[in-house]
Structures are given as structure tokens and as C-alpha cells.
């Protein structure tokens, strides 16, 4: 294994990104590189562990697994959120798995040691059989894990010395505060096992360069300017926009919520200017107003979409390093989370997030079954995206292929976040890492290569 040691490195980084627009292929399958990520990246980053509606009641818990670590995220009696390592302090047996209620506490299934919902040890069975040094109260509670909440989610960090969550996820957090992300709730939740490296999996969603080739159904005539401005027809434009919204709703099963498609269809007869740019602007602002008004009338907490656009927060995607995405469209959003299962295997989860009337009844979706990437139950756009990934992972092993050859303009985010990963693998202090996170916690689409600084 070739190792390149940068002048700034505290630790040597294998297969480092030396040329910004070229990413060595070994980063996507090398076992030693994967192990470095397991030891030096994942324990130091904030990770979205669960959505808060998964643990809505006192005592509710959800297990979050990352690599060989199992973390319990639990609701306290005061509806706060705490997290603990799921390892009995006796002999390490996991005290909880999956999702459920532990209002009466956790009981180790091996020897019956008991813990309260707050992780405090409440019982050591046959305590008299243990020496006093193994019964020190401070050593008996479940080991706590850093846990904070933001955007309707609980986040964990395995490093007690990491900076606070909010500092690590800006400007992503500010953008989605404006979108009122905390009031979104999951309508459905899917999971996919992808036979590819976790980085390769999420990079498929970092750029729009692939769209016309991979998703030909999205080439919809009438949505773009005509060569001759006099040929522009506002009626054709509206029909094309409605067709696009239907395709996005059906093709991604919720990328545009069906309710918003209905709202748009109610505007089919809107009068638009004969100029393309004016017609697009008028259509977008009219639809934004209609969506905001309709959902407020339902009793939902929804932002003013035109105000978001005026503030520059109308981005089609937000990325939060290292593994979380939100893709907002009108009232609702899709959300992605990626976790490594091995050097060439990834768990990808997709949520459809939408607005529900405040105070109304709501039933969160169940923990999903993990589907294979070619499962016919996937919606069409997802199937198309997934179809490329196994081919790409296999192609990386070709002896004639050396590195990703990136478009500086269209695929810059791939380079940007890889170089930040190198900073974590080099063991750089948080002070340096924090200076660059705001450069990559942004909309990754068409993001150019930026100066990272180390």
C-alpha cells in the first residue's frame, strides 16, 4: 500500500488526494483505508442517529449502529434525549437492540443487571459475589455518549472532546432552520443495501451531471427556453412543469409530495407572461404562495417559500458531513443517510418528510426492511441511480483505472469532502477541521472545487 505523507499530516494518510480533481480508486475498497476511517473519522463526527418521532414518548429508545458500535438513544421522562453505549457494564452484552420502550428500564438478558431509562444502574444481581472494587457506583452506569438534537433528529458523537453539534453542521443548520426542518415528520422510511463503498454511494447524489443520461424521462420539452424567444408558449411551459412535478413525485415516490402536485394542478390555468424568464419566475412564486397557503390552512408549520427564495435558501439539496442529506421541494423533503457496512457495502436509508397538522394524530413509519438495490419495489428514479453503482464499484478494480477524474465545475464536492476526510485521517485538531466544514456543509450540486487549506 502506497502511503503519501503530507507536510501538514500528524499521521500518514494512505492514498491521499494529492491532486484536487483526481481521487485515488483505492479509497473506495482498500481494507486498511476503511479501517482508518473506522478509527479516525467516524468516532470524531456528529452522526444523525434517529428521528425524534422514533422516540416520541418517555422511555422510548432507538438503537443506532455504526461499524462495531451500538448506541442507545432514549427519551427521558422530561422528553429530553440521552444516549449510551449498549454494553452492560458487567460483561459487555448489548442491553437493547432495535427500537422499543424501556419505561421500566433496561435489563441485560445475560445476567439480569438492570438500568433505568437514564442509563443509571439500578440492580446488580447477586452483588455480594463481587469484590468492592467492581461495584463502584460511578463505574456501573451505562457509559454515556454525546447526544444533541437538531432538525427533528437526535445526533451522536463518540468523541467527548468534539465541538458542539451546531458548530459542526453550519451553514446546513441555518438553511434548514429557515425551512422549519424541525416540524417535518417521516411519512415513509426505506432502506437499501448497496454493494458499494459508502463514499461512492453518496457521491451519486453530489452532482446533476448524471441526470440526463441516467434519468432520460426527466428530459421534458417545454421546460427550457426556446431558441427563438417568439416561439415560447406559456401554456406548453405550464404543462411541462406539471409533467415534471408528476414525474418527480411518482419517480421518487415523494420527492415532490402528491399533495403539492395537486396544488400545482389547480394552477394549470394561471396567466403567465410570454417571456420565458418572467413566466418561470411568475409560475414559481405563484406555486410557492399556493403551497404555503394551503398547508397553513391545514394547520401545518410551513415556511413562506417565497421568503426562503428571496433569502437564497431555496437550494434543492443540503449536505451535512459526513453522511446526511435533505432535499427540500415545496412543502416537503426527501432525506438520505449513509452508513458503511464494510469496505464495499453500504446501508442507505431514505425518508420522505412532510408536514402534518400541529396537534393532530401521527403514526411514525416502522423500521424498514433492508431491500437489495435491484428490488422491484424501489421507485423508478431510485432504481436508475442504484443501477449504476455496482457497475462503478466493480469498475474501480480494473487494472487500467487509477483514479476518479473529476469535473472541477460539476463534481467539485466529491473532491472537497474527500480532502476533509484526509484531514480527519491525518488526526488534525478540530480547530483546523472546523475552519473547512462550512465549505462542504452546503448544497453539493454543481459545487466547484474549493481551497481546503491543509
- Per-residue pLDDT of 246-285, as tens digits, reads 999 998 887 899 999 999 999 999 999 999 999 999 999 9
CA separation for the pair 201, 326 (Å, rounded): 16
Sign, CA dihedral 386-388-392-395, equals positive
What are the angstrom distances between the C-alpha of 49 and each of 20, 71, 116, 211, 234? 31, 9, 21, 30, 46
Which pLDDT does position 447 carry in this prediction? 93
Q: Return the C-alpha cell found at 399.
A: 487494472
Which pLDDT does position 246 carry in this prediction? 96
Sign, CA dihedral 257-260-266-269, equals negative
Which pLDDT does position 254 carry in this prediction? 79
Q: Which residues touch 52 (CB under 8 Å, ≥6 apart)? A: 81, 149, 152, 153, 154
Q: Which of 364, 363, 337 is nearest to 350 (CA)?
A: 337
CA separation for the pair 20, 429 (Å, rounded): 22
Domain boundaries, the chain: 3-44+184-208+318-440, 47-157, 211-310
Per-residue pLDDT of the chain (454 residues; tens, 9 = 90+): 444 444 444 678 999 999 999 999 999 999 999 999 999 999 999 999 999 999 999 999 999 999 999 999 999 888 899 999 999 999 999 999 999 999 889 999 999 999 998 999 999 999 999 999 999 988 999 999 999 999 999 999 999 999 999 999 999 999 999 999 999 999 999 999 999 999 999 999 999 999 889 999 988 999 999 899 999 999 999 999 999 999 999 988 878 999 999 999 999 999 999 999 999 999 999 999 999 999 999 999 999 999 999 999 989 999 999 999 999 999 999 999 999 999 999 999 999 999 999 988 899 999 999 999 999 999 999 999 999 999 999 999 999 999 999 999 999 999 999 999 999 999 999 999 999 999 999 999 989 999 998 8
What are the angstrom distances between the C-alpha of 246 and each of 105, 220, 267, 380, 410? 47, 12, 14, 13, 27
Which pLDDT does position 11 carry in this prediction? 76
What are the angstrom distances between the C-alpha of 100 and each of 61, 80, 134, 189? 6, 16, 30, 17
Q: What is the pTM of this model?
A: 0.94
Read off φ and ψ for residue 431, nearest 5 degrees.
-55, -40
CB 23 within 8 A of CB 451: no
What are the angstrom distances between the C-alpha of 146 and each of 24, 114, 122, 182, 373? 34, 22, 22, 20, 33
Which pLDDT does position 37 carry in this prediction? 98
- Per-residue pLDDT of 276-331, as tens digits, reads 999 999 999 999 999 999 999 999 999 999 999 999 998 999 999 999 999 999 99
Instruction: Write out the H or E segment, with its range, that includes residue 393.
Output: helix 380-395
Which pLDDT does position 55 carry in this prediction? 96
**What is 47-157's CATH superfamily?**
Rieske [2Fe-2S] iron-sulphur domain (2.102.10.10)
**What is 3-44+184-208+318-440's CATH superfamily?**
Naphthalene 1,2-dioxygenase Alpha Subunit; Chain A, domain 1 (3.90.380.10)
What are the angstrom distances between the C-alpha of 126 and each of 92, 112, 113, 130, 135? 17, 10, 10, 8, 11
Instruction: Write out the H or E segment, with its range, that includes residue 272.
Output: none
Which pLDDT does position 8 carry in this prediction? 46
What are the angstrom distances between the C-alpha of 306 and each of 59, 184, 290, 348? 40, 19, 10, 32
Amino acid at each position: 500500500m502506497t502511503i503519501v505523507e503530507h507536510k501538514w499530516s500528524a499521521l500518514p494518510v494512505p492514498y491521499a488526494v494529492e491532486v484536487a480533481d483526481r481521487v485515488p480508486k483505492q479509497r473506495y475498497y482498500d481494507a486498511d483505508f476503511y479501517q482508518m476511517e473506522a478509527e479516525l473519522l467516524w468516532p470524531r463526527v456528529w452522526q444523525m442517529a434517529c428521528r425524534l418521532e422514533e422516540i416520541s414518548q418517555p422511555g422510548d429508545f432507538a438503537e443506532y449502529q455504526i461499524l462495531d458500535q451500538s448506541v442507545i438513544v432514549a427519551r427521558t421522562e422530561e422528553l429530553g434525549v440521552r444516549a449510551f453505549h449498549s454494553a452492560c457494564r458487567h460483561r459487555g452484552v448489548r442491553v437493547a437492540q432495535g427500537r422499543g420502550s424501556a419505561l421500566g428500564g433496561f435489563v441485560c438478558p445475560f445476567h439480569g443487571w438492570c438500568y433505568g431509562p437514564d442509563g443509571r444502574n439500578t440492580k446488580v444481581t447477586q452483588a455480594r459475589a463481587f469484590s468492592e472494587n467492581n461495584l463502584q457506583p460511578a463505574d456501573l452506569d451505562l457509559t454515556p455518549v454525546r447526544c444533541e438534537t437538531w432538525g427533528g433528529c437526535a445526533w451522536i458523537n463518540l468523541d467527548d472532546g468534539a465541538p458542539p453539534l451546531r458548530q459542526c453542521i453550519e451553514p446546513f443548520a441555518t438553511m434548514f432552520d429557515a425551512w422549519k426542518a424541525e416540524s417535518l415528520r417521516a411519512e415513509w422510511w426505506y432502506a437499501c443495501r448497496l454493494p458499494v463503498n459508502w463514499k461512492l454511494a453518496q457521491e451519486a447524489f453530489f452532482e446533476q451531471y448524471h441526470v440526463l443520461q441516467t434519468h432520460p424521462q426527466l428530459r421534458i420539452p417545454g421546460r427550457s427556453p426556446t431558441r427563438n424567444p417568439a416561439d415560447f408558449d406559456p401554456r406548453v411551459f405550464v404543462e411541462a412543469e406539471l409533467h415534471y412535478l408528476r414525474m418527480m413525485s411518482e419517480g421518487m415516490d415523494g420527492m415532490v409530495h402528491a399533495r403539492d402536485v395537486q396544488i400545482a394542478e389547480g394552477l394549470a390555468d394561471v396567466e403567465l407572461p410570454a417571456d420565458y424568464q418572467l413566466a418561470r419566475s411568475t409560475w414559481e412564486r405563484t406555486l410557492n404562495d399556493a403551497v404555503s397557503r394551503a398547508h397553513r390552512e391545514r394547520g401545518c408549520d410551513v415556511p413562506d417559500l417565497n421568503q426562503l427564495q428571496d433569502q437564497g435558501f431555496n437550494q434543492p439539496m443540503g449536505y451535512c458531513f459526513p453522511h446526511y442529506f435533505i432535499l427540500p421541494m415545496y412543502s416537503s423533503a426527501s432525506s438520505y443517510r449513509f452508513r458503511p457496512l464494510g469496505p464495499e457495502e453500504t446501508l442507505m436509508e431514505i425518508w420522505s418528510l412532510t408536514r402534518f397538522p400541529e396537534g393532530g394524530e401521527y403514526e411514525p413509519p416502522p423500521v424498514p426492511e433492508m431491500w437489495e438495490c435491484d428490488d422491484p419495489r424501489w421507485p423508478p428514479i431510485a432504481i436508475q441511480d442504484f443501477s449504476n453503482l455496482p457497475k462503478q464499484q466493480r469498475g474501480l478494480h480494473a487494472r487500467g483505472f487509477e483514479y476518479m477524474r473529476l469535473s472541477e465545475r460539476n463534481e467539485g464536492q466529491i473532491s472537497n469532502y474527500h480532502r476533509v476526510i484526509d484531514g480527519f485521517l491525518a488526526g488534525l485538531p478540530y480547530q483546523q477541521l472546523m475552519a473547512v466544514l462550512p465549505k462542504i456543509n452546503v448544497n453539493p450540486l454543481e459545487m466547484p472545487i474549493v481551497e481546503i487549506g491543509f
